A and B are shown apart, each in its own frame.
Chain A
Amino acid sequence: EAQVTQNPRYLITVTGKKLTVTCSQNMNHEYMSWYRQDPGLGLRQIYYSMNVEVTDKGDVPEGYKVSRKEKRNFPLILESPSPNQTSLYFCASSPGLFTYEQYFGPGTRLTVT
């Protein structure tokens, strides 16, 4: 089944404790992206990647890192999480640039205390 998977689905952590949210897609998509969703702010893009080893900042990249060493994986790293990073995070992928729909993962609900 074609899908985007994220792990973990739920995470409660403490300020400053490094964490990684994994994202994997099995559709051989070139383009992958991370979003965060907050009430009243909609979805905002954190980082995106147009191919292996090619990543770029989205609208809200501060406090996050990403890497794209393999086509299928695009992990999101929070080196030192803070409470303002409490949010619902989505990974998405699409076949390529322009005029393509994005396929979203199920979401990761992160709480930083």
Chain B
Amino acid sequence: SQQGEEDPQALSIQEGENATMNCSYKTSINNLQWYRQNSGRGLVHLILIRSNEREKHSGRLRVTLDTSKKSSSLLITASRAADTASYFCATDLGETSGSRLTFGEGTQLTVNP
């Protein structure tokens, strides 16, 4: 089964609203990363949060990490139509995994103009 699981699977909001996506994982991690994928295209890295960090910001993005609950959330504030994409969390288990990223199945975000 996947190490990371995103929730919800799909999210539809209006432009200007905030979008929150959640990721849960099963085992201890070295870091957790969020990626965006526009339809049929390559993934683009958004933000990386280390296991000893609790919150990180990048522009309109805010990521939190709760290692006790093995969960992370991605908040996109003041969403735009251009934010429409799939969002994936990926966990890096560190040395025990040979530094491999394990991806969840993603959240499909639709921002309606």
Of the candidates A31, A90, A99, the one whose C-beta lies within 8 Å of that of B42 is: A90
The answer to whether B101 and A45 have CB atoms under 8 Å apart is yes
Q: Is the interface of A mostly helix, strand, loop or mixed?
A: strand
8 Å CB contact of B99 from A31, A43, A88? A31
**Interface 1/0 per residue, A94-113 and B, CB below 8 Å:** 00011101111111010000
By size class, the interface of chain A is 20 to 34
- Please provide the chain A residues from 35 to 72 with a CB less than 8 Å away from any CB of chain B in the complex: 35, 40-45, 48, 50, 56, 58-59
Known contacts A31-B99, A107-B40: A42-B48 contact under CB 8 Å = no
The answer on a CB contact under 8 Å between B105 and A42 is: yes
In the complex, the number of residue pairs spanning A and B with C-beta atoms less than 8 Å apart equals 62
Rounded to whole Å, the gap between the CB of B100 and the closest CB of chain A is: 6
B1 CB → nearest A CB, Å:
11
| Range for the number of chain B residues in contact with chain A | 20 to 34
B residues near A25, Cβ cutoff 8 Å: none
Interface residues in chain B, defined as those with a beta carbon under 8 Å from any beta carbon in chain A: 2, 30-31, 33, 35, 40-45, 48, 50, 88, 92, 94-95, 98-106
Name 14 extra pairs, CB < 8 A, besides A40-B105, A98-B31: A45-B100, A90-B43, A98-B94, A98-B95, A98-B99, A99-B30, A99-B31, A101-B33, A102-B33, A103-B45, A104-B35, A104-B42, A105-B42, A106-B42
